[in-house]
Amino acid sequence: MKIKRQKQAKKTISFYKYNFGFREPFQILIDGTFCQAALKNKIQIKEQMPKYLMGEVQLCTTSCALKELETLGKQLYGAKIILQRFQVRKCPHFKEPVSASECLLSMLEETNPHHYFVATQDHTVTTGLKKIPGVPLLYIILNTIVLDKPSQASLDHVQAVQLGELVSPAQQQSIQTLKEEQGIGQKDGERRGKKRKRKQSNPNPLSCLKKKKKGVPTPPLKKTEQEGKRKRSRHKKRKVEAGDGTAAPAAANT
């Protein structure tokens, strides 16, 4: 039974790692009800949680959860001692504390951006977080810690991402990083305020050379009168030679 639960937990963790970007150390958000159940069932949370999740963990809670245990008195004194050992994360209810269930759900926001696991026995919290995609739920049953299967909201979200209807959190983070690198996410005032400094460069040596003066184009040479005369005289000589040739045979015949 233990091996079967371990395999199921490994499969569920892989689902959240691949689809929602969960990474070690896993942040476990714990309330007083979970500590009370662990105390009753003699479960050492610090020792057993890393073994069950097969990785490094950070156990944390909120000031509202601690305040709630203080108001409940001696009945939950042991759970309060256990919860005080964990890290206390800042919540928006520092001045005006609210119930632990309301505080935990507010820490998850709409998409669980900080990748919290939630460890609770509170029915109000479990009902509320199942409506938020990407929230792993831990609870205690039969003296053991159990990681619940992904909720229907998580499965629907993954299906919508695969169909291209939504953008996964990892893709949103990469898009935001690219925007910051290109300065797209900045305001217009910030863009205008940052001007690029031009580097001082030496002048182009070719532009410093003096321009050469263009020479006056030489007119085409005219034919001299003598060459014209020579050509004409040659033409006349040919005609004379031709006339002498025809006259000689005629004289011979006479």
- For 142-161, the pLDDT digits (tens) are 889 999 999 999 999 999 98
| Within a domain: 190 | no
Return the CATH number at 136. Answer: 3.40.50.1010
For residue 235, what are its two tokens?
């033409």
Query: Is 218 within a domain?
Result: no
In a domain, 56, yes or no: yes
Domain-located, residue 222: no
Domain assignment present for 126? yes
Are residues 43 and 143 in contact, defined by beta-carbon separation less than 8 angstroms? yes
* Residue 191 resides in a domain: no
Q: What dihedral angle (degrees, nearest 10) is formed by the CA atoms of 11, 13, 17, 19? A: 60
- Do the Cβ atoms of 87 and 58 come closer than 8 Å? yes
Is residue 132 included in any domain, yes or no? yes
Q: pLDDT (tens digit, 9 = 90+) per residue, 179-237? A: 777 777 555 445 445 555 666 667 776 666 666 665 556 555 555 555 555 555 555 55
Asked whether residue 40 carries a pLDDT value surpassing 70, the answer given is yes
Structural domains counted in the chain: 1
- With respect to residue 186, please indicate whether it lies within any of the assigned structural domains: no
Domain of 85 in residue numbering reads as 1-150
